[in-house]
């Protein structure tokens, strides 16, 4: 753990690092491949919408039922002539969900289930959802997501700049597409819990992105007044400086979510836990990836297209070429953007000349080495 902490401190100071911006085309390619897979999953399999969105009924049996999930599913489909989803809850009761039926047919299905399962009809709890109400819930979910996106873009454009707002929006769309695509491929049911999970992961994704953007904004003040770093160099330093923070927060957030997904949902069989935890687990991982590999490299791409940044890059590259061809090896290394050899106080200071150390021969040849 001490080595990990030391590595984090060295990353923050710029002593070591990885060139994320330089290899951005690799990350873009990986993201495009995953996104295409998610879109294909959505197009081929589609989302398994819960009854909250399409209407239907949910029947909950008493505890410790002797009937198996397969038997209950057969009974429900015979009674309703619709596909049924049956889950066994942790207390031994069965949750039977039938979508696409009207509320008038629920009593008939309830009586048929009570006979097949050999229980009193009064012991079966029925929750009904009308199709019009489910449609309203779906529309409200899309409206909430759209309003969230608009507010995020406006805030980031005001707090930072429009390029960062655009990059953050691309990262958010990337996270949502991957998460919904995984839902389609896995076949998990989409419920209001899923929507809550999606909105939650967007907040986590934005948190990591804004942390990097804030560091980038501070370090690029007066960037055109120096000839040592390009905008991409400083963007790379910002990612490395906040890398350990992003990893730590993501891992700490993923651990309890993994407990909900694999223990709460898998072992206990709790349906709602599956809906929330899967969206959180996939979304948190995708959000951490997009904030490091997508958002900031995309900002660097957009900024490097500006005339000022193009001129700065030419000056920086010319200085490095001159130092490499005419200067000493130490001068060439000093002009390079490598973060492996930066002094501790050099990372935030990007403007103005560096202070040169005093000459070692000063004072020699004088009595007691003092100035006259």
Note the pLDDT tens digit of each residue in 330-364: 444 444 444 443 433 334 434 433 444 444 444 44
Instruction: Say if residue 229 is exposed, middle or buried (CB neighbours under 10 Å; 0-12, 13-18, 19+).
Output: buried
pLDDT at residue number 13: 54
CA distance 297 to 29: 13
* Nearest residue to 110 (alpha-carbon basis) of 93, 126, 94: 126
pLDDT one-digit tens code per residue, 289-312: 998 899 999 999 999 999 999 999
Q: Looking at the predicted structure, is the pLDDT value of residue 4 above 60?
A: no
Mean pLDDT of all residues in 112-123: 84
Q: Which of 95-109, 259-273, 284-298 has the lowest mean pLDDT?
A: 259-273
pTM for the predicted model, two decimal places: 0.71
What confidence category does residue 158 fall into, taking pLDDT thresholds of 50, 70 and 90?
Answer: very high
Q: Does domain 56-129 correspond to CATH entry 3.30.70.3400?
A: yes
Q: Mean pLDDT, to the nearest integer, of 116-144?
A: 78
Which of 93-97, 101-105, 181-185 has the lowest average pLDDT? 101-105
Cβ(74)–Cβ(55) below 8 Å: no
Residue 212 near residue 242 (C-beta atoms within 8 A): yes
And the tokens for 257? 């979510």
Q: What is the pLDDT of residue 77?
A: 85
Contact 109, 80 (CB under 8 A): yes
How far apart CA 274 and CA 87 sit, in angstroms, is 11
Helix (H, G, I), strand (E, B) or coil at 160: coil
**Positions of CATH 1.20.1640.10 in the chain:** 2-49+133-307
Nearest residue to 341 via CA among 10, 5, 6? 10
Helix (H) or strand (E) holding 215: helix 192-219
Mean pLDDT, range 52-66, rounded to an integer = 81
- The maximal CA–CA distance of the chain, rounded, in angstroms, is 112
Quick one: what percent of the chain has pLDDT higher than 90?
16
Degrees to nearest 5, angle at CA 240 with 235 and 244: 140
Residue 366 banded pLDDT, cuts 50, 70, 90: very low
Query: Sorting pLDDT into bands at 50, 70 and 90, what band is 65?
Result: confident
C-alpha–C-alpha distance, residues 236 and 20, integer Å: 6
Mean pLDDT of 2-28: 68
pLDDT at 333: 44
Q: Is 11 a residue whose pLDDT tops 60?
A: no
pLDDT band for position 39 (cuts 50, 70, 90): very high
Strands 84-88 and 125-129 turn out to be unpaired
Phi, psi of 343 (to 5 degrees): -70, 165
pLDDT at 159 over 80: yes
Per DSSP, the chain holds a count of helices (H) and strands (E) of 14, 6
The least confident of 8-12, 66-70, 237-241 is 8-12
CA distances from 116 to 81, 91, 288 (A): 15, 20, 49
The CATH number of 2-49+133-307 is which of 3.40.50.150, 1.20.1640.10, 3.20.20.70, 3.40.50.720?
A: 1.20.1640.10
pLDDT confidence tier of residue 103, bands split at 50, 70 and 90: low
Q: Are 83 and 99 in contact (CB under 8 A)?
A: yes
The residues, any chain, with a CB within 8 Å of residue 35's CB and separated by 6 or more, are 174, 177, 178, 181
pLDDT in tens, 188-243: 778 777 888 888 888 878 888 888 898 898 888 888 888 889 999 999 988 888 88
The percentage of residues in the chain with a pLDDT greater than 70, rounded to a whole number, is: 78
Angle of CA points 206, 210, 213, to nearest 5°: 140
Looking at residue 30, what is its pLDDT? 93
> CATH 3.30.70.3400: which residues of the chain?
56-129
């Amino acid at each position: 753990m001490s080595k990990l902490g030391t590595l984090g401190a060295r990353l923050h100071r710029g002593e070591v690092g990885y060139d994320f911006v330089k290899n951005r085309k690799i990350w873009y390619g990986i993201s495009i491949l995953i996104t295409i897979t998610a879109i294909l999953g959505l197009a081929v399999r589609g989302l398994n919408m819960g009854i909250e969105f399409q209407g239907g009924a949910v029947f909950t049996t008493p505890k410790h039922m002797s009937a198996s999930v397969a038997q209950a599913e057969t009974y429900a489909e015979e009674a309703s002539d619709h596909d049924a989803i049956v889950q066994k809850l942790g207390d031994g009761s069965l949750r039977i969900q039938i979508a696409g039926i009207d509320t008038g047919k629920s009593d008939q299905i309830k009586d048929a289930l009570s006979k097949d399962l050999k229980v009193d009809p009064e012991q079966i709890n029925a929750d009904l959802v009308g199709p019009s109400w489910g449609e309203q819930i779906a529309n409200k979910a899309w409206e909430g997501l759209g309003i969230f996106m608009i507010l995020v873009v406006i805030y980031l454009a005001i707090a930072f700049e429009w390029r960062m707002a655009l990059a953050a929006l691309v990262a958010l769309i990337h996270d949502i597409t991957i998460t919904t695509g995984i839902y389609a491929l896995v076949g998990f049911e989409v419920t209001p819990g899923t929507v809550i999970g999606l909105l939650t992961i967007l907040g986590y994704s934005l948190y990591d992105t804004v942390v990097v953007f804030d560091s980038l904004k501070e370090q690029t003040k007066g960037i055109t007044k120096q000839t040592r770093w390009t905008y991409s160099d400083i963007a790379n330093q910002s990612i490395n400086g906040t890398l350990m923070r992003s990893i730590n927060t993501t891992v700490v957030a993923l651990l309890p979510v993994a407990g909900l997904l694999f223990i709460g949902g898998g072992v206990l069989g709790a349906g709602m836990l599956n809906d929330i935890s899967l969206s959180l687990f996939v979304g948190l991982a995708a959000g951490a990836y997009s904030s490091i590999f997508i958002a900031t490299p995309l900002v660097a791409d957009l900024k490097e297209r500006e005339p000022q940044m193009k001129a700065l890059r030419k000056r920086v590259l010319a200085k490095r070429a001159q130092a490499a061809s005419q200067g000493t090896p130490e001068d060439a290394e000093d002009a390079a953007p490598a973060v492996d050899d930066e002094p501790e106080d050099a990372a935030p200071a990007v403007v103005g000349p560096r202070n040169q150390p005093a000459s070692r021969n000063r004072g020699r040849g004088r009595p007691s080495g003092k100035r006259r």
